[in-house]
Amino acid sequence: MTSLTALRKQETPRHTAMPPLPATPRLAVDGVTLEYRTPRQVVKATQRVSFDVQEGDRFVLLGPSGCGKSTLLKAVAGFLSPAEGEIRLDGQQVVGPGPDRLVVFQEFDQLPPWKTVKQNVMFPLLASRTLGRREAEHRALVTLEKVGLDAFADAYPHTLSGGMKQRVAIARALAMQPRILLMDEPFAALDALTRRKMQEELLTLWKEVGFTLLFVTHSIEEAQIVGNRVLLLSPHPGRVRAELGCEADSLSNLGSASTKSRTQQIHQLLFEHEGRP
């Protein structure tokens, strides 16, 4: 005979747990085609590119020169409007530049030379009326301490090395507490040793501050080091080739078999011929 307990178990309805609803990504690029005009024609920079960046991601756009990765970054910043598709930040369509998206470029002349390091970091806070002068000075000094430049607060840009200037530019952007930090090949003009040091410092700063990063590079190694997710773009016009997770590819893990295998995989995906499976 079937026991009463067994009968009760049979009669008890089974409730299937509903999967959690997907969170709104920090950044959504949805089917974005970008174009620019020449005297003779309209040229496509990207074609129907889609990807999501979650809060806290270190998301890297990787591809050969001319694939539209920097153009995509400018569109996310609000400097360009898509010919097709949509870009959303926290679910809201991007229609122009804003202090919630700050860009760090590779050029070293992005710092006004007549302002001290502290004044450079304070400038966007004051210009946007985000903070008053006293509060802006405090936040600037706190941010400079995080990037290791508090001792150079009263120095002028011409007295700094290239790597230090980039750290000031990063501090200036982070002081605004943007929802996403945009970096367009920020270390490309640095020598190899300084570039490696800046990569280390960027990752250390990310661990401390926890910002969301969209990073553009044409270096496979840098993409693996900096990114936890990497989007591969095809040659012109840029299309999505693949998206890979690179969380395990750290500076201390560059020589591992798994990292080398992923490097080879990325290389094959980037440089395979169009139309080839």
pLDDT of 113-172, one tens digit each? Answer: 999 999 999 999 999 888 899 999 999 999 999 888 999 999 999 999 888 988 899 999
Please, what is the Cα angle at 38 between 36 and 42, to 5 degrees? 55
Q: In the predicted model, what is the mean pLDDT of residues 206-234?
A: 92
Within this chain, do residues 63 and 189 fall inside the same structural domain, yes or no?
yes
89 lies in the same domain as 65? yes
pLDDT number for residue 5: 45
* The predicted structure's pLDDT at residue 271: 79
Q: Tell me, yes or no, whether 31 and 120 share the same domain.
A: no
Domain boundary among 127, 149, 177: 177
Does the residue 16 lie in any domain?
Answer: no
Whether pLDDT at 213 is above 90: yes
Q: Does some domain include residue 15?
A: no
Q: What is the pLDDT of residue 10?
A: 44
14: in domain: no
Q: Could you tell me the pTM of the whole model?
A: 0.84
The reported pLDDT for the residue numbered 66 is: 84
For residue 6, tell me if it sits in a domain. no
In this predicted structure, what is the pLDDT of residue 154? 95
Is 59 part of any domain?
Answer: yes
Check whether residue 217 and residue 96 sit in a common domain: yes
Residues 156 and 199 in one domain: no
Predicted pLDDT at 9: 44
230 and 186 co-located in one domain = yes
Give the domain-ending residue among 149, 177, 205. 177
**Domain membership flag for residue 38:** yes
Q: How far apart are CA 121 and CA 35, in angstroms?
A: 34
How high is the pLDDT of residue 129? 87
Domain holding 128, by residue range, is: 111-177
pLDDT at res. 11: 43
- Considering the domain boundaries, does residue 149 fall inside one? yes
pLDDT of residue 108: 60
90 and 192 share a domain?
yes
Same domain, 89 and 126: no
Number of domains present in the structure of the chain: 2
Q: What is the pLDDT of residue 74?
A: 94
Q: Edge-to-edge strand order for the sheet containing 92-93?
A: 42-53, 27-37, 84-89, 92-93
pLDDT value for 2: 45
209 and 88 in a common domain:
yes
User: Is residue 190 very low, low, confident or very high in pLDDT (cuts 50, 70, 90)?
Assistant: confident
| Any domain includes 223 | yes
If asked whether residues 183 and 61 sit together in one domain, one would say: yes
What pLDDT does 75 receive? 95
Which residues, 6 or more positions from 48, have their beta carbon under 8 angstroms from its beta carbon?
A: 31, 32, 33, 84, 85, 239
Rounded CA separation 176/226 (Å): 22
Distance CA 171, CA 166 (A): 9
- Confidence (pLDDT) at 1: 45
Q: Are residues 96 and 184 in the same domain?
A: yes
What are 47-61's pLDDT values in tens digits?
A: 999 999 999 999 999
Average pLDDT over residues 66-95: 93
265, 185: one domain: yes
* CATH code: domain of residue 57: 3.40.50.300
User: Of all residues in the chain, what percent carry a pLDDT higher than 90?
Assistant: 48
DSSP for residue 106: S
Report how far residue 124's alpha carbon sits from residue 136's, in angstroms, rounded to the nearest whole number: 9
Name the maximum alpha-carbon separation found in the chain.
92
Distance CA 225, CA 247 (A): 8
pLDDT band at 65 (very low <50, low <70, confident <90, very high): confident
Domain end residue (candidates: 152, 177, 202): 177
Cis, bond preceding 237 (omega within 30 deg of 0): yes
Burial of 261 (0-12, 13-18, 19+ CB in 10 A): exposed
Higher-pLDDT residue of 40 and 71 is 71
Residue 106 in this model has a pLDDT that exceeds 80:
no
Q: In b/e form, how buried is each residue of 225-257, taking b as 16+ CB within 10 angstroms?
A: bbbbbbbbbbbbbbbbbeebebeebeeeeeeee
In tens, the pLDDT along 224-259 reads 999 999 999 998 788 999 998 888 777 777 777 888
